[in-house]
Amino acid sequence: MKITKPTLLVNKEKCLENIRRMADKAKAANAELRPHFKTHHSAEIGEWFRKFGVSKCTASSVTMAQYFAAAGWNDITIAFPYNPLESEDISEIAKTTSLNILIESEESLRLANQLIQNPVGYFLKIDIGTHRTGIDPEKLALIESLVQSSTDKVKFKGFLGHAGHTYYSPKAEIPSIFADSVLILNKLKSKFGGIISYGDTPSCSMIPDLSGVDEIRAGNFVFFDWMQKEIGSCKTEDISVCLASPVVAIHEERDEVVVFGGGVHLSKEGLEENGKKSFGKAVRLTTNGWKSPVIGNVRKISQEHGIVQMPAAEIAKLKLGDLLGILPVHSCMAADLQGHYYSTSGEKILKIIKD
């Protein structure tokens, strides 16, 4: 495999191990794994999940649902608030696919009943603490009205929650966030019926026993990233993607190396570490992947440039045209920016192509 520009490498063996662990957790909790495919965006990688008994998936958009439906996935939840402007496309997918949408208001449910032509299921999106979208779980009259508005065409399935605030909470608080979330959702299930769909990689990775939910929708766990490592969801060696980035300039006097790998490859999402920003972690590439020890930090980033701060001893080992590996801060964003990936054994892995 000849790499001449920023290329996202995927270690299949690590991916399979990450999937296996989550599938085993779901099985132990008597829950179904409905992984969120927004992390990898790839029909080929999606097939890796089938080995572990996964037959349902989650998408983050109608376009993504179309892509995975065409790839043979016939039970899909679009985990994004229903957009009435896409009702025609939703109707088309629902002709051949068991499709679920998210509802969080009487108006959105009214429009779904009016505009969607083929049967779909709907989950009520419950705000379990992230405060991004969702219904306040205390608004029982609204929830009851939405449940009772179920029809044969637009049918109530249950309650869906995403504890996105685990990404920004101290590690010690994540068990209580999970427990509180499951309690909220189970109270609604006990009162109104349906199933509980729950998912976020930090809690689903860190909590030993995920009992209390009916399906698990975590997604990032297939790749993991440096953010998950810092949260405590994974170890460095569990991260299964790495951006191979050509070295294009070396500035020994500043302890800096410039790589071809910037915001359009990694995204501009970073982490604060001891008063400094990190947009990725530099590692040594090998003939079949990369080594886990971190040897540098991507401290600055622009559209095409990545500025990597490294010790002088590591810089001395480099020359122009060498490749550095960069472990991304957020693998979902980095993957979304790629046209395709390569496995560490050299096979091209195709992914969704955006309109």
Which DSSP string corresponds to 61-96? SHHHHHHHHHTT--EEEEEEE--GGGHHHHHHHHTT
**Which of 295, 301, 300 is CA-nearest to residue 318?**
295
Q: Which amino acid type is present at position 143?
A: I
| Confidence at 1, pLDDT banded by 50, 70, 90 | confident
> In this structure, what token pair is assigned to residue 89?
């496309």
What angle in degrees, to the nearest 10, is found between the helix axes of 62-70 and 43-50? 60
| CATH architecture for segment(s) 236-350 | Beta Barrel (2.40)
Two tokens, residue 302: 């622009």
d(CA 78, CA 123): 10
pLDDT digits (tens, 9 = 90+) for 18-43: 999 999 999 999 999 999 999 999 99
pLDDT digits (tens, 9 = 90+) for 156-171: 999 999 999 999 999 9
> Are 327 and 261 spatial neighbours (Cβ–Cβ below 8 Å)?
no
Mean pLDDT over 261-282 rounds to: 96
CA dist 23 and 56 (Å) reads 12
Write out the residue limits of the CATH 2.40.37.20 domain(s) in the chain: 236-350
Q: How many CA atoms lie within 13 A of 27 on its CB side?
A: 9
Antiparallel, parallel or unpaired: β 340-343 and 7-10: parallel
Q: What is the pLDDT of residues 92-120, one digit of tens each?
A: 999 999 999 999 999 999 999 999 999 99
What is the percent of the chain where pLDDT is above 70? Answer: 100
Largest CA distance in the chain: 70
Distances (CA, A) of 187 to 93, 137, 302, 308: 32, 9, 47, 49
Q: Tell me 222's DSSP state.
A: G
Considering the entire predicted model, what is its pTM?
0.97
For the cut 90, the answer to whether the pLDDT of residue 44 exceeds it is yes
Alpha-carbon radius of gyration of the chain: 21
Give the pLDDT mean for 196-215.
97
- Dist CA 12 CA 49 (whole Å): 12
Given the structure tokens 């009487």, which residue do they identify? Answer: 106
Instruction: Look at residue 179 in the predicted model and tell me its pLDDT.
Output: 98
Give every CB contact of residue 328 below 8 A, 6+ residues apart in sequence: 225, 226, 241, 242, 243, 266, 267, 280, 334
Positions of E strands within 199-346: 215-216, 241-251, 256-260, 271-273, 276-278, 280-286, 289-290, 296-301, 305-309, 323-328, 340-343
Rounded to whole angstroms, how far apart are CA atoms 49 and 281?
Answer: 28
Structure tokens at 125: 């999106």
pLDDT at 296: 98
The pLDDT of residue 63: 98
**Mean pLDDT in residue range 55-78:** 98
**Is the pLDDT reported for residue 8 higher than 80?**
yes
pLDDT at 355 over 80: no
Region 329-335: mean pLDDT is: 97
Q: Which residues contact 286 (CB under 8 A, 6 or more apart)?
A: none
- CATH T-level topology, domain 12-224: TIM Barrel (3.20.20)
Look at the alpha carbons of 336, 169, 205, 164 in this order and tell me if their dihedral is positive or negative: negative
Asked if the model's pLDDT at residue 354 lies above 80, the reply is no
What's the mean per-residue pLDDT of the chain? 97
Confidence category of residue 84, pLDDT binned at 50, 70, 90: very high
Q: Under 8 Å CB-to-CB from 14, ≥6 apart: which residues?
A: 237, 238, 239, 240
Q: Is it the case that residue 222 has pLDDT exceeding 80?
A: yes
Domain boundaries for CATH 3.20.20.10 within the chain: 12-224
Which of the four pLDDT bands, split at 50, 70 and 90, describes residue 58?
A: very high
Percent of the chain whose predicted confidence (pLDDT) is above 90: 98
